[in-house]
Structure 1
Amino acid sequence: MTRVPAVSFEFFPPKSLDQSFRLWETARALAPLRPDFVSVTYGAGGTTRQLTHEAVVALSNHYGLNVAAHLTCVDATREETMQIVDEYAKAGVREIVALRGDAPQGQQVFTPHPQGFADSAQLIEAIAARSDFTIRCGAYPEPHPDSPGTAADVAWLKRKVDAGASSAITQFFFDAETFFRFRDQCAAAGIEAPIIPGILPIQSWAGAKRFAARCGTSVPGWAEDAFVAAGPEGERALAADLAADLCGRLIDGGVERLHFYTLNRPELVAEVCGRIGVTADPARAVA
């Protein structure tokens, strides 16, 4: 492995003072790794819309980071959603991760707002027509929970790219071959936009399994066996080894960009980045 990939990081907006300190410490720790961009999520059902906006502006203004704001179709009219786009434009934000979003809390199935966007492709098309943004979208190497299968997910991704998305970030996965199969299917379908693998360094095995169950990621038996054998005392070292190995396999397979789900905990992410040659630039340190 000789090539060093470009990296990006996902954060979530803070809901408390303690979480605010954790976000700023995470940004401070990872900014010297020179990410292409960082993204800030919405809470489930769009519940952190204002917090997301505040975090995006703060990260952009105070940390000098290129911030991509998550934006969803959940529980908002088209006018309300596009007003958020305009506010980001005024704040100097130039990247958006456009997603359909999960169903609001208490609902099992996503139902569009009567005056809202029906899906992420409609949202992407509206942003592309109205503003000069770099638009990223989501992708699923394994079937989305609402999808009949991978072929449908590939077709849906092509629709989003055709609508104006310039790249896609995948849900996390455990095996490099899962990504390579998906990438090949996308290429065969005529999708030329870069597909960036989403990497989840496992901060908690129990938490990772819950996350996988919600988003349709299959948990291989070898991973369960490995974490059971490692036990609580060996979980972190195993997580670092597995994430670094996965990244190495992806890089060897031609991947040039990696997107890390940080969960606002920078230490493990920084260690994995160091193992694949992504090192800190002291000049980018944030006071």
Structure 2
Amino acid sequence: MPELPEVETVRKGLVRLVQDKTIAEVVVRWPRIIEFPTVDEFCQELVGQRIETITRRGKFLLFKLTDFDLISHLRMEGKYDYFSEKNNPQPDKHTHVIFKFSDGSQLHYNDVRKFGRMTLVAKGQGMLYKGIQKLGPEPIIEEFLLGDFVEKLQSSSSLIKPLLLNQKVVAGLGNIYTDEALWLAKIHPQQPARTLNKTEIKRLHQAIIEVLTKAVKVGGTTIRTYKNALGEAGSFQMELNVYAKTAEPCPRCKTPIVKIKVAQRGTHFCPHCQKLKRRKQS
């Protein structure tokens, strides 16, 4: 699934490719991609709309149009492919929405699993979308406050990994970067969140910011099908310490990395560096 660094990289690419373009036609080939309004209304309302810019909140992309906000969530394997006016191929079987622009170029939404969703709302209302309203802070120093993070962890009955994945504590974390941040902070993924002390929480807070900031800078992680809107692969996979490193030596202590399931998610960690600490839960 594209996580925050991948979605941010897609956003930057889309700004370069389609900002200021005017939509001439929209073709929806898989209706369930469109949450609201109806498919016919979606296609009709978008004609003549100019893409003023594209922003992001968590894993949501927000296309800021002349009269609307178009909210797009890529879910598991959604991606955007751009084609210039000189290179408009026939859409393949996984192309579900086609945006045709007045200059002859096209933007295709491609999704193998068909899990991605788009919603059209009134201009300026994108941040009020129910999925966005539930998000925690962005993982940047200015918004991701340590005091709030401490309070949320110490009041939770959840294990730390699933808590970090639920998007209400901090926006944008997924499986890859949660594993990486927990490794960097030396915290076991099955540690009950409320048993972490303030020193450990501070270390985890810093690790989340560090891992995501670094991943954004290198265009995210390419695992299987991910590419950005420019057709480029990210390179953070070259810097992964534990994710997808089962049986390989831990970069810190050389102990083989272990993979287990936590909350139904494949989870990678070092059993030596990330010991599960038996503590009483308050």
* TM norm. shorter chain > 0.5: no
Q: Quick one: higher RCO (CA 8 Å, sep 6+), 1 or 2?
A: 1
Structure 1 length normalisation: TM-score?
A: 0.28
More helix, by proportion? 1
Structure 2 length normalisation: TM-score?
A: 0.29
